[in-house]
Structure 1
Amino acid sequence: MTETHATITPGAPVFPPGRYGRRREPGRRRPALVALLATALVATLGLAAFSMYGKYGDPTYDAQVITYTDITDSQVVVDFRVTVPAGGSATCVLRARSHDGAEVAREEVTVAAPPGESQAAARHRLATTARPFIGEVVRCRPAD
C-alpha cells in the first residue's frame, strides 16, 4: 500500500514507499513512572542525609580549643571545652600538627561534665613525634 498525497499532512517529509519501513506512532508519555522514580530518588537522598547527619552532624557535642601551650619538640598541652548533654560525657579526638601541616600526634580523650552541667573542660598533654605548631580538637562524639 502506498501513500498518496491526500494522506500526507502538509509539511511532512515524503519518503519513497517501502524504503524506510513503516512509520512509528509517537511514544506514550509515562508520568506515573517519572513520578515513581522521582519519589524513589528523593527518599534515597533523604535517607542518606539522615544517616550522614546522625554520623557526623551531632551539634550537642561541640568542642572549643581554649589554648595550646607548653610546646616543645615532643609535646603540646591542649586546653579545651566541650558542650555535652547535662551531666554527659564525650570522647574527643585531639591532634597536633607541625608547621608544614603534617600530623605529629593524635589521641582520643574522654571528658565528663560535672553532674547537672552541660560543659566539660579538660587539659591534655599530647606526646608528639616532632615539634608541633598547633594543638586542636578534631571532633567529639558521645562517649562509648
Structure 2
Amino acid sequence: MPETPATPVPSAPVFPPGRYGRRRAHRRRRPWIPALLAVALLAVTVAASYRLYRQYGDPNYDAQVITYTEITDSQLVLDFRVTVPAGGSAVCVLRARAKDGAEVAREEVRVDAGPGQRHLTVRHLLATTARPMLGEVLRCRPAG
C-alpha cells in the first residue's frame, strides 16, 4: 500500500505570525545599474588604453641604445638609433641613472630625418648631476 503524507508539503515555509518579525517585500530588480557600470568600465578602459598607446606604443617612432661612453662625474655620451617616418621628426626623452638607480640627468632631444631617411644614428652628450652608471632612451614620439 502506498504511503501518503497526512499534511501537504508547502512550497514555502510557513512561520507563526509575529514570531520572526516582518517579512521584506520583494524588491524590484534594476537591470540598468549593472549595464551602466559595465559601460563606465568600458569607457575608462578605452581611455586608459588610448593614453598608454599615445605615450608608449607608436611603432613608427622607435629607439634603441647603441652604446654609452665617456662617462665622467658630470657627463655621459649616449649613442642611439631612432626609427622615424621618412622625412619626419621625433622628440626622444633621454636619461642617465646613477649606480643606486637615481636619475641624474633627463633631457628631450629633437631628431629630424631627411627625405627618404628612416633610421638615424644620434650621438648626444648628457650633462649629469652625479656620476652616471648607464644611459637610456625612455621613449620617442612625434615632434609637434
| TM-score (normalizing by structure 2) | 0.79
* Count of aligned pairs between the two proteins: 137
In structure 2, the residue corresponding to 1:140 is in which secondary structure? strand
CA root-mean-square deviation: 2.5
CA shift, 1:51, in A, is: 3.1
Instruction: Please list the CA deviations of residues 100-143 of structure 1 after superposition, one character each: whole Å capped at 9, or x if unmatched.
Output: 21211111111111211112221011111222111111111111
Which aligned pairs between 1:1-144 and structure 2 lie closer than 5 A? 9-10=10-11, 12-19=12-19, 20-22=21-23, 24-25=25-26, 27-31=27-31, 33-144=33-144
Relative to structure 1, the CA distance from residue 44 to residue 85 in structure 2 (aligned partners, 3 Å threshold; closer, same or farther) is same
CA shift, 1:36, in A, is: 4.6
Question: C-alpha distance in 2, partners of 1:120/1:34?
Answer: 51
Question: C-alpha distance in 2, partners of 1:106/1:44?
Answer: 31
Relative to structure 1, the CA distance from residue 98 to residue 34 in structure 2 (aligned partners, 3 Å threshold; closer, same or farther) is closer
Query: Which 5+ residue runs of structure 2 have no aligned equivalent?
Result: 1-6
Contact 1:114-1:120 within 8 A present in 2 as well: no
CA shift, 1:22, in A, is: 4.6
Greater alpha carbon shift after TM alignment, 113-122 vs 80-89? 113-122
CA shift, 1:21, in A, is: 2.7
Contact 1:94-1:136 within 8 A present in 2 as well: yes
Question: C-alpha distance in 1, partners of 2:73/2:43?
Answer: 52
Relative to structure 1, the CA distance from residue 115 to residue 133 in structure 2 (aligned partners, 3 Å threshold; closer, same or farther) is same
